[in-house]
Amino acid sequence: MNEASLPYPGDRRRAAALKWSRWSTWYLSLLKVAVGLLLVLLIALLWLLQRNEIDEQRSTLIADVLWLEQSLRFHIEGHADQLQQLALDLARTKSQHELFDLRARHILKNNPEIRQLLWLDEASRAVYGMPTPSLPRVGQEALAENPVKRSVELARLGKPIYSDAYQGSDGAQFEVYVPIFNAGHYRGTLLAVYSLTALLTQQVPWWFAEKYQVRIVDGNGSPLASKSRVDASPTTLSYPVTLDPPGYGMVLQVTAYRGAGNVAQTLIATLIIILAAAVFWSLWAVRGLIKRRLAAEQALRSEYAFRKAMEDSLWVGMRARDLDGRVTYANPAFLQMVGFSAAELIGREPPMPYWAPEEMERTLLLHNKVLEGNAPLEGFEIRLMRKDGSRFDALIYEAPLIDADGTQSGWMGSIIDVTARKEAEEVARQQQEKLQVTARLVTMGEMASTLAHELNQPLAAITSYNAGCLNKLASGNYSAAQLTEALEKLAVQAQRAGRIIRRVHDFVRKSEPRLAPCDLAEVIDDSIGFIEGAAKSRGVRIVREIQGMRPQLMADQVMLQQVLLNLMRNGIEAMSDGPADRRRLTVKLGQLDNQMEIRVVDRGPGIPAEIEEKLFTPLFSTKADGMGMGLSICRSIIEFHHGRLWVEANRDGGSIFFITLPIDRQ
Ligand code: ADP
């Protein structure tokens, strides 16, 4: 939807939230893929690095091992050469002992790995030896095959011979046998005893030992000698190479140590993987969070949509104001009511454009009252102005606006357009009034014959007085006093007729209800005077029990008369068919605390319970020609005077209609 076309900021917010939610889902998936890929690539990179390094280490190891093997071989072969040279020199010289002693001492001194040098004669007996002349492997001569003898035999063939390795006093040892020939004749053998351990100690350089563990193992793989660091642990990276000489399956085995750099690298790799895993995990956690947030937002959106739909469907206007009285929100119903747009109202400060100028002062007063927190709980009515200048009546209820933190952020008012209701009330009031007048006219019509009869009496009297006067005048036999008396009586009758006419006039005149101080006793007397004739014609006696009271109260006299006449007429009609001695209607005035009470008591048949319920409802009548409006109008008149009208059964038979009217109302 085009955001600009959205009329309310709420709609725009909702659209933005929807966009964000879609975007965040995408973003999250992308992020997950990226981090997963990063993790895989990291592991692959580390693996490749490791492999490269292992390959490199392996090549270096092989090169180093070959170098060591070569250097050992050269070294041992160098000794053999030295011994061969000594053998030659021994064959040639006379002073053999001195020569041997000198050279052997020299060789032993420079080559600590050679533990012993022996000169054996043709019979393999030690002629001379350094440091001792005793043969190696003592105790083994008894064996069937003495290894020394066997080696000597082999050496006689002319080449230096190496023995296999064996455990001597100084760890694993081996020997080299070099024959001595003189003019083609075998003259003996030179024998050198090597300590393998010493050989490694002497010949393996320190830097080599730092990097590798060097071992010499026999054909079965059991170690013969080794040179290793105490503190290091070897890896699986190892390379064996045959050690020849001396041969006999002896193998030089070199194993690389786990380098410090290697440990650091492993540590870094481990850390990288842990960190990547942590990133992945936190992403997972964030995903959970975002999911929860999205769910909450979704719930909020639904809630908002629900609330919005509710607000939009409301016909009650809603208008929020902050604590300074600035309009912060107005619902569509209110906007429609006043005819302004949201943009024209939001942010406006008092005076508002919808305040009617003629009510400005009162509106401002009420506005301030609301802001002070003194808005009337039952709401208040006020006249407001639409944008087109027309006015309408509004009923407003104000309530504090509490935000999410529980603090008051302003006021929310609900506004109801009561113009139609007020108009309807006015129409109803006018109709009621018309009805009352009509009812009065009807009453009057009903009493017309009685009134005509009543009026007839004074008129007849006037006519007879008039005729009497004329007769007297015609006879000439009259005194002024006589005429005066007759004319005075005539005047009394004329006044009586006039009173009847005035009463009728007063009673039927159409006027708005007018409250004025009035005397209840007078109202009762007037009403009795009015209906007395009708009562008489039905043989009903009206008893007046006022006991000299003259209570004054604010009322519409004609209306009260209408009520009394109606009640008295009903009573008279109710008794007209009853026995003549029971036809008595009592009108009683009394006072109860701060209210006056009028009782209209008849002795008719009374009112059955099922009728009593409907008695005051309009159009209810049991009479063939009855309108059924009388009692309903009576009750509304009494309620207009803030009094009550009800009926009770008379214990003496008949009914008692009660009217109470408050005295102290102004
Ligand atoms: P209407 O007199 O035109 O019938 P009202 O409203 O004055 O209308 O009276 C309604 C009905 O109440 C009467 O029809 C009558 O049945 C009954 N009613 C009123 N007053 C009395 C009374 N004093 N005794 C018995 N019935 C009464």
Convert the pLDDT of each residue in 75-100 to its tens digit.
888 988 888 888 888 888 888 888 88
Q: Which ligand 1 atom sits nearest the alpha carbon of residue 654?
A: 24
CB 88 within 8 A of CB 96: no
CA of 277 to the centre of ligand 1 (A): 95
644 has pLDDT over 90:
yes
For residue 260, pLDDT beyond 70: no
Ligand 1 proximity of 620 Cβ (cutoff 6 Å): yes
Residue 613 in contact with ligand 1 by CB distance below 6 A: no
Q: How many whole angstroms from 571 Cα to the centroid of ligand 1?
A: 8
Q: What was the pLDDT predicted at 70?
A: 92
Architecture of domain 301-417: 2-Layer Sandwich (3.30)
- pLDDT averaged over every residue in the chain: 85
- Determine how β-strand 317-322 pairs with β-strand 408-417: antiparallel
Q: Of 46 and 459, which is predicted with more confidence?
A: 459
CA distances to 33, 480, 485, 488, 498 from 492, rounded to whole Å, are: 118, 18, 11, 6, 10
Cβ 574 under 6 angstroms from ligand 1: yes
Residues 264-309 have pLDDT tens digits of: 777 887 888 888 788 878 878 887 888 888 889 889 989 988 888 8
What would the pLDDT profile of 552-598 be if each residue is shown by its tens digit? 899 988 889 889 999 999 999 999 988 988 999 999 999 888 899 99
Write out the residue limits of the CATH 3.30.450.20 domain(s) in the chain.
64-257, 301-417
- Among 538, 542, 621, which is best to mutate for testing ligand 1, by the most ligand atoms less than 8 A from CB? 621
Q: Say if ligand 1 is within 6 A of residue 607 CB.
A: yes
For residues 603 and 572, give the distance between their C-alpha atoms in angstroms, rounded to a whole number.
Answer: 9
The confidence score (pLDDT) of residue 9 equals 53
Region at 643 (left for phi over 0; alpha for psi -120 to 50; beta for the rest): beta
- The per-residue pLDDT for 261 is 59
Contact residues for 167 (Cβ-Cβ < 8 A; gap 6+): 173
Give the pairing of strands 161-162 and 223-227: unpaired
CA 562, chain centre distance (Å): 65
Top-tier CATH class for 514-662: alpha beta
In the chain, which segments carry CATH 3.30.565.10? 514-662
pLDDT at 10: 56
Q: What token pair was written down for 190?
A: 């030179």
Separation between Cα atoms, residue 484 and residue 394, nearest integer Å: 69
**Looking at per-residue confidence, does 236 or 402 come out higher?**
402
CB 204 within 8 A of CB 254: no
Fold of 64-257: Beta-Lactamase (3.30.450)
Instruction: Label residue 1 exposed, middle or buried (CB < 10 Å: 0-12, 13-18, 19+).
Output: exposed
Least trusted range by pLDDT, from 17-31, 55-69, 153-167, 314-328: 17-31
Q: Is the pLDDT of residue 169 over 80?
A: no
615 CB under 6 A from ligand 1?
yes
Protein residue whose Cα sits closest to atom 19 of ligand 1: 570
Tell how far the Cα of 427 is from the centroid of ligand 1, in angstroms: 27
pLDDT exceeds cutoff 50 at 3: no
d(CA 80, CA 93): 20
Host H or E run for residue 225: strand 223-227
Q: How many CB atoms neighbour CB 348 within 10 A? A: 17
* pLDDT over 70 (residue 262): no
Q: Answer whether 650 contacts ligand 1 (Cβ < 6 A).
A: no
Q: Of all atoms in ligand 1, which is nearest to the CA of residue 615?
A: 12
Please, are residues 649 and 655 in contact by the beta-carbon 8 Å criterion? yes
